[in-house]
Amino acid sequence: MRLFFLLFILLNLSLNYIFAKEIQIQEREFPKEEFQKQNSEIAFLVAKEISKTLPQVVDKYTTLTHIKSDGTTLLYTFEINSGAKSDDAIRKEDHSRMEKAITEGVCQSSSKFLSVGINTSYIYVSAKTKEILFQFDITQDKCTPLKKY
């Protein structure tokens, strides 16, 4: 009986050691190259799905017209219909206000994507001239200072 009990303990210790080794192997870090490849594929699929629903009216001035992926970055293109306001006036008067609002909004709505390295770029184009008015590139680093502790 003692021999059986001793063998049982040895077997149990051996199995625990084997499983512990296997768990350590499974906890290895995912290769960065594979991680980026996976994120690129996710960004591509997100852009493909959202593209099916475009154009989307955001508000009375703004329409999301295009989305594509560039590696691990989602590039959203919006058209701004500013009426009589010139492109230069929009750039001068609206840039900082829009940058703050867009960055805060993306940091909240896309936090899971940003935290794994899928970045976002919002490009605003004039509906009249088709010229770029603003481009806001948002990464996890830009969101960190916005977090409230």
pLDDT tens track for 85-134: 899 999 999 999 999 999 999 999 999 889 989 999 999 999 999 999 99
C-alpha–C-alpha distance, residues 54 and 81, integer Å:
17
Predicted TM-score of the model (pTM): 0.75
DSSP letter for 146, please.
G
Is residue 43 classed as helix, strand or coil in its secondary structure? helix
Do 48 and 109 lie in one domain? The reply is yes
| Percentage, residues of the chain above pLDDT 90 | 61
Do 65 and 81 lie in one domain? The reply is yes
pLDDT at 29: 65
pLDDT at 31: 74
- Higher local confidence (pLDDT), 131 or 82: 131
Reported as a pLDDT band with limits 50, 70 and 90, residue 135 is very high
Do 67 and 89 lie in one domain? The reply is yes
Mean pLDDT of 54-75: 95
Do 10 and 76 lie in one domain? The reply is no
Do 12 and 52 lie in one domain? The reply is no
Beta bridge partners of 76: 67, 122
Reported as a pLDDT band with limits 50, 70 and 90, residue 14 is low
Do 10 and 60 lie in one domain? The reply is no
Do 35 and 50 lie in one domain? The reply is yes
Q: In the predicted model, is pLDDT for residue 10 greater than 80?
A: no
Do 109 and 72 lie in one domain? The reply is yes
Most trustworthy range by pLDDT among 2-6, 18-22, 67-71: 67-71
From first CA to last CA, the distance across the chain in angstroms is 60
Range of the domain at 41: 31-146
